[in-house]
Amino acid sequence: SAVISQKPSRDICQRGTSLTIQCQVDSQVTMMFWYRQQPGQSLTLIATANQGSEATYESGFVIDKFPISRPNLTFSTLTVSNMSPEDSSIYLCSVSTDYRANVLTFGAGSRLTVL
Amino acid sequence: ILNVEQSPQSLHVQEGDSTNFTCSFPSSNFYALHWYRWETAKSPEALFVMTLNGDEKKKGRISATLNTKEGYSYLYIKGSQPEDSATYLCAFSSGTYKYIFGTGTRLKVLA
């Protein structure tokens, strides 16, 4: 399965600032997924990032708040813009390299705390 | 709205105890049920992919069963060890790449 390097692993941010999370995969993948886990909540899909096209956002998530880049088949970034304390969460990127079973491989996550 | 529920939310057991937790999911439009283990500061790791009603999967001391007709899956850990301490997530798929995750069961195994 793929290996994903995600950074930063954690950060403390000030309200109103933006932070970009990076994910690097050790193999080429078509789709990369960005998830969020707010405290006490389930992992929720933010968007799907395809190389060469705009990301597809899930209900409740918008591009202005969570812009995503996907410049090639091994890399993606997620920016959390104009942060508020409600954005304090763990953000994870993931890929599926086993297309039959659709098993997800995750990065180690980025734990953001917004003050 | 599709909902996946896991119980209990958290669990403390003594080393050597056996334990189990439950994942409840929609019984319609079922395609697959995944179990993941998520240790602190690490990546969630896939344990099982279950697709057929009556499926039973096993990996070492951990096993899982699936009932798609009634919409539940059990995860069992036999003889729990401190290294089993983690959050166990289940995820429901209706056939697309989109998964609905439960909130997880946080297991702490006390030495």
pLDDT of residue B1: 61
On the CB side of A112, CA atoms within 13 Å amount to: 29
Give the pLDDT mean for B49-75.
95
pLDDT of residue B36: 97
pLDDT of residue B46: 94
pLDDT of residue A44: 95
Nearest Cα residue in chain A from B103: A42
Tokens 């998530």 correspond to what residue? A61
The rounded percent of chain B whose pLDDT value lies above 70 is: 99
Q: How does the average pLDDT of chain B come out, rounded?
A: 94
Within 8 A of B91 by CB-CB distance, chain A residues are 43, 104
In angstroms, rounded to a whole number, what is the distance separating the alpha carbons of residues A31 and A49? 6
In angstroms, rounded to a whole number, what is the distance separating the alpha carbons of residues B67 and B55? 8
Chunked into runs of 10 residues, chain A (115 residues) has average pLDDT values of: 93 97 94 94 94 90 96 95 97 83 89 97
On the CB side of A23, CA atoms within 13 Å amount to: 34
pLDDT at B100 over 80: yes
CA-only gyration radius of chain A, Å: 13
Instruction: Label residue B97 by pLDDT band (50, 70, 90).
Output: confident
pLDDT of residue A1: 77
In angstroms, rounded to a whole number, what is the distance separating the alpha carbons of residues A114 and A89? 9
Instruction: Report pLDDT digits (tens) over B72-90.
Output: 999 999 999 999 999 999 9
Could you write out the DSSP letters of every residue in chain A?
---EEEE-SEEEE-TT--EEEEEEESS--SEEEEEEE-TTS--EEEEEEETTSPPEEPTT--TTTS-EEEEETTEEEEEE-S--GGG-EEEEEEEEEETTTTEEEE---EEEEE-
Q: Do A101 and B102 touch (CB under 8 A)?
A: no
Structure tokens of A80? 């959390």
In angstroms, rounded to a whole number, what is the distance separating the alpha carbons of residues B109 and A75? 37
Within 8 A of A107 by CB-CB distance, chain B residues are 43
Q: Do B46 and A4 touch (CB under 8 A)?
A: no
Nearest Cα residue in chain B from A46: B98
Q: Do A48 and B41 touch (CB under 8 A)?
A: no
